[in-house]
Structure 1
Amino acid sequence: MNNTRKHQKSIEMENQTKIDRISNLPWDVLDIILVHLPLREAARTSVLSSKWRYKWTGLSQFVFDDKCIHSSMVDKAARWMEIMKIINKVQSSHSGPIEKFKLAAYCCPNQSDFDQWIAFLTKKGIKELIIQDFSFIKRFKLPSCVFCCPKLSCLELFGCIFKLPAFFKGFDCLKSLKLSQVFIVSDTLESLICNCPALERLTLLNIDHLAFVRIHNPNLKYLKLDSKFEDICFGYNPLLVSVDIRMIPMYGWTIPWRPEQGKVCNLIRVLGSFGGINRLCLYGQFLEVSFLYLKLCFILLIYFGQMLRINKII
């Protein structure tokens, strides 16, 4: 009798060890596990069993970087074709939302394929759209569907032409905006910043055609600007605590005068806009003006010091 019970227990234990507990986990738990793997490794889980064949295509985050592509592949067009193989599988079988997409693999996208994929993402409720590293023959046009993403909280764009469509009402949830090597005119940038009421971080790097910069956003906390421009003006930014500006002069440019401008690059006007700022870094042409400003302050301190001494004697 004891032997029979022992045998039954051993069978039960053996059956329990054969249960695929990972496959039976809730999808939200599996999604958390898989998104922490490089996308190439997540795709390899398709060989585990029939249950896993398409699990990876339903991820909520897709990061296309150099880990997705074999290191021996150097042709930029061929690298994009490898990415498109993954994209096509995702588009054909994905269900549910996609919260994050990041492109950080040096490749050369086809414009129509790229537009189609971006349009697919906008229908999936994208929250983080990050395009960091790729190669186009010329600046690519940002699809207008990007401006129809009500849940977008993080937007990073590289090497595109940025124009606001007529229907654009703003990004209500956008907290972080980074533009790098982007073509955008001054008025468009000003309108974009003003129409992002939740914006906290703004980074502008090597912007094309940016003559005048006006920063006005009551929720902005962190600003980094490293680009060619002729003048900058700060509006109402009460929460701004960190400012990092490197100014590269635009030789040969003539910019229209605006009422808020005093002299071009009026450092005193800029510094007067900062109330509760904790960190301020100025580089480039700002330094030339900074030395004059500091020299003036030093002369004034000496003058007032002498006046106080005279008053004490009297």
Structure 2
Amino acid sequence: MESHQKKRETMEEEDRLSSLPDDLLHSILREVPLKHAARTSALSQQWASRWLRALASSSVIDFTDRDFARGQTPARAAATVSRCLQLHADNGAPLDVFRVALDGCDGAFERDVVGWVASAVARGAREVEVDLTPAHGNRAQQLDADQDGATFMELPGDVFLTENSLARLSLDRFSLRAVTPGAPGLAGLRSLSLSRADVTDEAVQAVVSSCRLLEFLSLSSCHLLTSVRISGDNLQRLELVRCPAVQELRVAAPALESFVFHGDVVDLYDWESEEVVGVDMGATPVLRDAYLSHIGFGTADDVDIKEYAYFDFMRRVAHAPTLTLCSVGMRHIRAQLNYDDLMEIDMTNIEELQLLMASLDEDDLEALFSFLQLNPITILDRLFIRLPIDAAEASGVAAAPIHKAQGSFIADYVDNLVLDHLRLIKVVNFRGTRCELVMISFLLKKAPALEQLVLVAVEEERGASGDELLKIIQGKVSAMQKASPEVRVTVCRPSEDRSQNPAHTRFYHEE
């Protein structure tokens, strides 16, 4: 008790911060990250109220650093946000940006959250973001859990009835049913993100068509969506993630530069025309990058059922110079070869290809080798392969030797494939399994201009045993036959990796 009292007296004696002029304190606090500003109450007896007042006088109110709520109940954290907004309104300061991220909403403060959005929009904010996704655990499972019985926060119909300054809107767990289609307050939107939203196909189509300036649209875990129709002359980026009921996708966006899809293969068949009609991307002449992943969706039987649907989907984005695909898709293509060995996708524009592997066994290798051979990628410069993090999905024993059987397996695919512009190969989550080594051996023989091979190991083994494994892998790969005499082989841990990364670095199936 005595030492505690002495420590308190010492802190009070050293509290020189509180004696600074308010204007100077506020200017300092505006430059301090929220989590650090909140902790300064340990340094100054008046600091806690000062940083809150400083934040309330700023044009940017940003509570997305979840550390500010650490040790508090969600309701208490929400009360802090409400108090800050009230102080901000009392001060009459202009509000440009309002962002908040809290760990869930149990219903106790739903009215507060809706009030935050309405207040920020009414006060002229250009950017409004509300994220209620729990920060810990599996994000995808939490996003999709209990969707049928989920409760949504209802946005009042009058929030967007008048014109405002809103340019970016990002909402999680809101219902837009009361929002009038073509509402004047949405007309100036350039960016719209809806996650776990109570929104229908018709509502999305109406909102997007009325937002003529919209450049970015993200729809995530919106389980009511079945037929998504997007039309926008200015739309440049489109994301459709974890919307499992979607069976039809129609996009008319001639300015589209970036497209992301993570979900089940869109499969709609017209029995009259006997054609797959699930996806229509229209003309996308300036498409720069596309991300097409189906990991975690569908069943093994779907590979033989939806192979034509996948082919139809992929060919509509394969002209993008930067492309991310997954092993599920390659298996679909391999299955289609059983019915149509003349199929071909034009991939001659691709400069960067990233392959996301849900697993790596001999079937995956066969699908990979077939994919590369049957779809010439003539100017491919960079190849990135992301192996599964889960060791259970890896095949073979670490650093196992390549047997003669595997040598003949590779020989079936070596005749007419040359990746003669390939400069970089990077493989992440490498363990040195038999199938991984077979894959590397195959690629090294097909890339005569290869300059660098980077193998980034998984974060598992540390210490002497981990170092020994890296040395074994380095030795085995260095001894492989190579088409390029100049290739540099690097085997390292993630913390040691300094090599180039792919354009797409967010992996939805791992969230």
TM-score calculated relative to the size of structure 1: 0.69
Question: Which has the higher relative contact order, 1 or 2, with Cα contacts under 8 A spaced 6 or more apart?
Answer: 1
- The count of corresponding residues between Structure 1 and Structure 2 is 268
The alpha carbon displacement at 1:56 in A equals: 3.3
- Closer/same/farther in 2, CA of residues 137 and 47 from structure 1, 3 Å limit: farther
Matches of 1:186 and 1:179, distance apart in 2:
13
Which residue number in structure 1 is paired with residue 250 of structure 2?
A: 233
Distance 1:49 1:246 in 2: 43
TM-score (norm 2): 0.44
Relative distance call for 1:262 and 1:124 in structure 2 (3 A) is farther
1:80 alignment partner in structure 2: 75
Aligned to 1:159: 173
Do the aligned partners of residues 246 and 133 (structure 1) sit closer, same or farther apart at CA in structure 2, a change above 3 Å counting? Answer: same
- Partner Cα distance (1:198, 1:299) in 2: 33
Q: Secondary structure at the match of 1:144?
A: coil
Counterpart contact for 2:163–2:185, Cα < 8 Å:
no
Range 125-134 or range 281-290, more displaced:
281-290
Q: Is the 1:122–1:145 contact (alpha carbons within 8 Å) kept by the matching residues of 2? A: no
The equivalent of 1:4 in structure 2 is none
Question: Which residue of structure 2 aligns with residue 139 of structure 1?
Answer: 152
Aligned to 1:100: 97
Q: Quick check: 1:42–1:56 contact (8 Å CA) kept in 2? A: no
Query: What SS does structure 2 have at the residue aligned with 1:165?
Result: coil
Q: Structure 1 unaligned runs (5+)?
A: 1-17, 301-314
Segments of structure 2 that go 5 or more residues without pairing to the other structure are 1-16, 135-148, 295-305, 315-332, 347-511
Measured in 2, the distance between the counterparts of 1:101 and 1:195 equals: 24
Q: Sequence identity of aligned pairs in percent?
A: 19
Q: Tell me how large the CA RMSD over aligned residues is.
A: 4.1
Q: What is the 5 A alignment of 1:107-256?
A: 107-108=104-105, 109-134=108-133, 138-147=151-160, 148=162, 150-163=164-177, 164-165=179-180, 168-169=183-184, 171-226=186-241, 227-228=243-244, 229-235=246-252, 237-248=253-264
Change (3 A) 1:204 1:52: closer
User: Counterpart of 1:138 in structure 2: which amino acid?
Assistant: T
Deviation, 1:188, is: 1.0
Q: Which residue of 2 aligns with 1:41?
A: 38
Superposed CA deviations along residues 2-21 of structure 1, whole A, max 9, x for unmatched, are: xxxxxxxxxxxxxxxx9x88
Alignment of 1:253-268 (within 5 A): 263=275, 265-267=277-279
Shift of 1:167: 6.9
Q: Name the CA shift for 1:53/1:218 in 2 (closer, same or farther; >3 Å).
A: closer
Query: Of Structure 1 and Structure 2, which has the larger fraction of its residues in helix?
Result: 1
Report whether the alignment pairs 1:287 with 2:304: no
Describe the superposition over 1:83-111 as per-residue Cα deviations: whole angstroms up to 9, x where unpaired: 21442354143322222222212042522
- 1:177 corresponds to which letter in structure 2? L
With over 3 angstroms needed to count, the CA separation of the structure-2 counterparts of 1:23 and 1:40, relative to structure 1, is: closer
Q: CA deviation at 1:33?
A: 2.3
Letter in 2 for 1:144: G
Q: Deviation digits for residues 241-262 of structure 1, max 9, x if unmatched?
A: 11122342699xx99x9xxx99
